[in-house]
Structure 1
Amino acid sequence: MILTIDENSEDLRLDSYLSELYEGISRSKIQTAIKKGKVLVNGTEKKPSYTLKDGDKIEFEDLVEESILKVEPENIPLEVIWEDENMAVINKPSGMLSHPTFIETSGTLVNALLYKYGQNLSDINGEFRRGIVHRLDRNTSGLLMIAKNNKTHEYLANIIKEHTLTKKYHAILVGNYPRDNDVITDPIGRNNLNPKKMAVRPDGRPSVTKLKVIERFGNDATYVELTLVTGRTHQIRVHTSNKRHPVYNDTLYGAGQGKVKTQEQVLQSFYLKFAKPFSAQIIELELKPDEKLEKVLNYFRNRRV
């Protein structure tokens, strides 16, 4: 198996990366495999403590039974917002994983994509991430780009890296955000206490989120639009939490469950603007607020009447 490291996995230790990938397999077993030369980075052996870099290619022997690794197509309904011969944009629902893990191999977006598109999906990031160029957290809904071939995958990965793709989100934040417009520039890196979380830290990577207030609900909540200038893992959730206004119901980043119960964070990727692959045509896509957003917005608006 060969996987290419992107900026979301950069700065992780090699053994930590594989531990996340092979969730459920002990760290010591993974470290032993690395020390025995069963894991190569850019064709050479590395220590378990090696820090991954964007673009690194990880080649390794399977650490679990082959039968567990197989990802099956599943007839799961997909809402395709736009597509051509090279790519598609899907409206991923909240609660769906973007791609399988070694613990969950069914019910993901990739299972649905394999059923709909078969082998007409990029495989640059391995079988578990067929077609996946960028990800949305399980409980974040919205627009997600899918590559149908490797050339398009590279094109889309490049416009993400060069920040020529416009991505906007809607969110409800806890409390009354103090500024109508803000640019949050806190650097983001791995959380030292929990490698599955991110945190604002002085030695983190440059991270920029633009925030605009849409509607205020007193001291209870604020409805906002957020534009990602950079695309770090959990960027919006980390930035808003660090400002002491976490995304509503985002229990991982300190919000707690609010009075309106939802499936974790009330966050939607609602807008994409990009140049169509290998064309000068500009594609602009926008979604209406999803079920979670509508539920929480209606609650606060009705309280105000």
Structure 2
Amino acid sequence: MTTEAARRFTATRRDRLDRLIAEAVPELSRSQAQRLIERGHVQVAGAQATRAALLIEIDTDVEVTLPHNEIDEAAAMVPMEIIYEDEHVLVVNKPAGILVHAVPGVPGLSIVDVMRARYPEARDLREGDYRAGVVHRLDRDTTGVLAYAKTDIARDTLKDQWRARETEKHYVTIVEGRVEPIAGIVDAELGPDPNDGRRRAVVEEGENAYSEYRVREQYGNDHALLDVEIRTGRTHQIRVHLEAIGYPVMGDSLYGKRSEYIGRQALHAAKLGFRLPSTGEYRAFDAPIPTDMQRVIDTLRTQYTDDSKGPQQ
């Protein structure tokens, strides 16, 4: 079993090595970064570095190897609301800013790290080095209901449900613009954006993707609160579909623009339904709108009082 994980980044300014690591690998404190440097767990431009005060030049590649005890220490401190738990599955309310599983070259703790720290038996669930008990994903800055398998049978059962599209997935999002019509379906295939490897796009001969939206509240001509249900689960599906029809998600810097109202994309997985692997019973789990999104909604309701009482005809 792998006992280490690597975090890689490129220095964006000239600074001390320990400061750069603590900033680029947010699960580490500066003292933890110093300890890893002194123990030989850091490479700078391919060579081992053992001085925390070493000055690193801009555009220098840095690799930090995290022993699992360091990951577990940080992961155990991450707050995670558990919505439901039995012997086979966990359902959590995922916070913003955390990956579902590690991505090579992308710093940060993941849900997998948190679950392994809290449930050591989950270490035996492994697909490659990264996915473990993950059966579906939410983007790093998307909040809400997430299911996680604790056993092999649960992982296989849940993945079968996702592949057969037997699950129920509802989201809440705040978008830019006056949404017309107030309800609609986006049935458009998605694939890699040929002009930007970070993005997905509506493409010919891509993977089928189906999203259905309805306006819950409209705020003037500037913003709207939407309920969105998806039948498929493609990467960035809601973000790409809404951008494609002219209503990008608020705060989504990849498919729209940054927002003065919120520091992330305003997208929340509000409801998830599936059959429990333990009993076969269908259950639906809900997560309330998170504080940062609710604050935006309250602000917009105040600013657009006459237009926030429901869908505008």
Identity %: 28
Name the residue aligned to 1:272: 272
1:50 aligns with none
- Relative distance call for 1:219 and 1:280 in structure 2 (3 A) is same
Partners of 1:174 and 1:246 within 8 A in 2: yes
Which of 183, 194, 197 aligns to 2:196? It is 194
Match of 1:196, SS state, is: strand
Which residue in 2 is equivalent to 1:35?
none
For the pair 1:162 / 2:159, whether they are aligned, the reply is: no
Deviation, 1:125, is 2.0
Which shifted more, 290-299 or 68-77? 68-77
Q: State the Cα distance separating 1:70 from its structure 2 match.
A: 5.0
Mark the CA change 1:194 to 1:69 in structure 2 (over 3 Å): closer, same or farther: farther
Name whichever structure is richer in strand by fraction. 2
Q: Is it true that 1:107 corresponds to 2:104 in the alignment?
A: no
Which residue number in structure 1 is paired with residue 58 of structure 2? none
How far 1:193 sits from its partner (Å)?
1.6
Q: 1:270 and 1:122 mapped to 2: Cα distance?
A: 30
Give the AA of the match of 2:269.
S
Structure-1-length-normalised TM-score:
0.74
Whole-Å separation in 2 of the counterparts to 1:193 and 1:122: 39
Amino acid at match of 1:198: R
Deviates more, 1:115-124 or 1:236-245: 115-124
Provide the rounded CA distance (Å) in 2 between the counterparts of 1:170 and 1:298. Answer: 15
For residue 258 of structure 2, what is the aligned residue in structure 1? 257
The answer to whether structure 1 residue 117 and structure 2 residue 119 are counterparts is: yes
Aligned to 2:283: 283
What is the CA–CA distance in structure 2 between the aligned matches of 1:77 and 1:127, rounded to whole Å? 24
Contact 1:82 1:89 in 2 (8 A): yes
Distance 2:236 2:107 in 1: 23
Q: What SS class does the counterpart of residue 254 from structure 2 fall into?
A: helix
Alpha-carbon distance in structure 2 between the residues aligned to 1:24 and 1:194: 20
Q: Displacement of 1:302 after TM fit?
A: 0.8
Matched, 1:243 2:248: no
Say which of 65, 69, 94 aligns to 1:68: 65
Q: For 1:86-101, what aligned pairs fall within 5 Å after superposition?
A: 86-101=88-103
Distance change >3 Å, CA 115–CA 161, structure 1 → 2: same
Q: Which amino acid aligns with 1:284?
A: A
- Select the structure of larger CA radius of gyration: 2
Give the TM-score normalised by structure 2: 0.73
| Matched residue count | 246
Alignment correspondent of 1:295: 295
- Matched position secondary structure for 1:119: helix
1:148 pairs, out of 131, 147, 150, with: 150
Tell me, yes or no, if the aligned pair for 1:22 and 1:101 is still in contact at 8 Å: no
Alpha-carbon distance between aligned partners in 1 of 2:204 and 2:283, rounded to the nearest angstrom:
37
